Each structure stands twice: as C-alpha cells, then as structure tokens.
Amino acid sequence: MTQEYGPPPQIVPTSLRDYLDAMSKPVFQSGMSWKVVNSKWGTTREAFSDFDPDTVAAFGESDIDRLAEDTRVIRNRRKLQAVANNAARMVELEAEHGSFGDYLRSHQSFDATAPTYASSSASWARPAATSSSTSSASPCPRTMSGKRRARSSGDVGSRIRRAALPSGGTHPPTR
C-alpha cells in the first residue's frame, strides 16, 4: 500500500530533477487531499516534463495557462507557478553551489536552516534549540530559510520545506 499522507518517503537524490520532484509534491499536497495528489502524481510528472529542472524553470505564463487547463494536474495556478518558480531558484542555487545537495549541506544542519515559530504547537514543526536558532517568531537572517525568504517570491513555506527536505536526505530534528 502506498503512503497517502505524511512526509514523502526518503530518496537518494541523484539529480536536481529528483529534488524538484520531491519538493513539488508537498506544494500540491498543501491544503489538498494527499490521496488526490498521489492519484495524479504520475500524470503531473508527465505534464511537468518529468520535472526536468531547466524545462520547468523556463515555464512562462502560457505554460502555466496550459497547465491550469490540463486535467492531469491539480489546476491551482499558485501551486503551478510555485513549482516553476522553485525550479528556477533551484537551477540558480545549483549553478551557485555546484549542486543543490551542496547548497543544502552548506548550511551545516537542519536546525540552522529551519525557522523557529513561537506560535507553533507541534514539536515536529519546530527545530530543537541550538546556538544557530532562536526562539523568536522570525528566522535568523543568516539561516537558509531567511535567505530563501529574502530571495524568493514566497512559494514554499517552512512546513512544506520541513516535509520535503527529508525526502532528499536532510533530516529534521527529533525530540
């Protein structure tokens, strides 16, 4: 039986395509039935050119319009645009750091990359206290989340990152 909810299964990413696939699924699952997303995931891959990062990063308004009419995918324009925006940013990060995996590893630990929300009640949604994380309601600007927020259009929230990153081998802390 396939997993219908929870974080995606861990993969050993061999390419940026693997990371994009793993990080796109939680974008679609946010606020949706995971069963619906899982049932459409194969055709979503087809519609997104098997998550080829360069192809998806180059998606323009006409491509988003086409996808918004495509019954093979979840036709939420914000989610469709988020995947294209994330692909573009991931391609940039890979160019800057040699690989997306190197970018993730350049931030030392997950605790240093995840924001801490004072209002969050779920222990899995908060990083353990470390010298590099704070208990304030906003992330330290030196963290990956702070850098991402400063350089993005806000398409992936911290909870989606927390759900997606373990699939690429980056583990959130446990308490």
62 has a pLDDT exceeding 80 = yes
168 has a pLDDT exceeding 70 = no
Q: How many residues does the chain have?
A: 175
pTM above 0.95, yes or no: no
**Tokens 């030392």, residue?**
108
Give Cα separations from 135 to 119, 129, 131 (angstroms). Answer: 10, 8, 11
50 has a pLDDT exceeding 80 = yes
Q: Which domains does the chain have, with CATH numbers?
A: 16-168 (1.10.340.30)
Look at residue 10 in the predicted model and tell me its pLDDT: 75
Look at residue 39 in the predicted model and tell me its pLDDT: 94
pLDDT in tens, 115-160: 544 444 443 333 444 444 443 333 333 444 555 444 544 445 555 5
H and E: helices and strands count for the chain: 9, 0
pLDDT in tens, 66-89: 999 999 999 999 999 999 999 999
Compute the distance between CA of residue 90 and CA of residue 69 in angstroms, rounded to an integer. 26
Look at residue 123 in the predicted model and tell me its pLDDT: 38
CA dihedral 148, 10, 130, 99 (to 10 degrees): -40
Give the pLDDT band (50/70/90) at residue 110: low
